[in-house]
Amino acid sequence: MIFHFKNKFPQLNAYWDKYLPFQKKQEVPAKTLLLQEGRRSQQYIFIEKGCLRAFLNKDGNDKTVQFFFEQEGLASFESFVNNVPSPISIETIEPSILYTLPKKYALQLIDELSKEPYFTQMVLQISAQRQNHYMNEFVSFIRDTPEQRYQNLLKKRPQIVQRVPQHYIASYLGVSTVHLSRIKSKLAKGKSHF
């Protein structure tokens, strides 16, 4: 949410630089839980290498709702700024290299930034982007079949299909692992008559 915007708003670069020293580099194995549903977020996370997923628990099983890759940053803004419990958990999928900024400094940074006119512009842009993201996901569920949603992934976010274990993708698409497997084999057949 913050550092991955470096250079997108050059006017604010000085701020990122100022807080770089407070970052901590962390190397963590796969399946490391970084934030647990119900807890309060204690840090901003930037992904140097690896990938993460956001998920929630429903009747005992995981439902993955989002994926994150290199050069992306995460902070549940709400959980963070308003200090409310996070509705989701975050964990690594691959062994990852992360840079984290403790909440204390992140809030301090936001406080400094909020005096800058460009900050508003940045927050608005980020907010609009996210709104757009969730709206597209939502509309896609109404409009598209699971098969079409999978093909969208293949076309627009091939990273996910290539790097993420299939059962996470299945819940993200809203289907069972078995059904996603069926979708794949059906698509494979369709292609094979070159």
Candidate residues 150, 169, 172, 180; the one interacting with its own copies per rule CB under 8 A: 172
Q: Which does 26 bind (CB under 5 to 8 A by kind): its own copies, DNA, none?
A: none
Residue indicated by tokens 């006119």: 117
User: Among 23-31, 100-108, 117-125, 161-169, which window interacts with its own copies (CB under 8 A)?
Assistant: 117-125
Q: Are 87 and 72 in contact (CB under 8 A)?
A: no
3-state secondary structure (DSSP) of residue 155: helix
Instruction: Output the six-digit token pair for 6.
Output: 């470096």
Q: Which does 130 bind (CB under 5 to 8 A by kind): its own copies, DNA, none?
A: its own copies
- By the 10 Å C-beta count (0-12 exposed, 13-18 middle, 19+ buried), 28 is classed as middle
Phi/psi at 64 (5° precision) = -80, 130
Q: Which does 40 bind (CB under 5 to 8 A by kind): DNA, its own copies, none?
A: none
User: Among 57-65, 67-75, 101-109, 156-164, which window interacts with its own copies (CB under 8 A)?
Assistant: 57-65
DSSP state of 98: E
Binding stretches for its own copies (CB under 8 A): 56, 58, 63-65, 78, 120, 123-124, 127-128, 130-131, 134-135, 137-139, 141-143, 171-172, 174
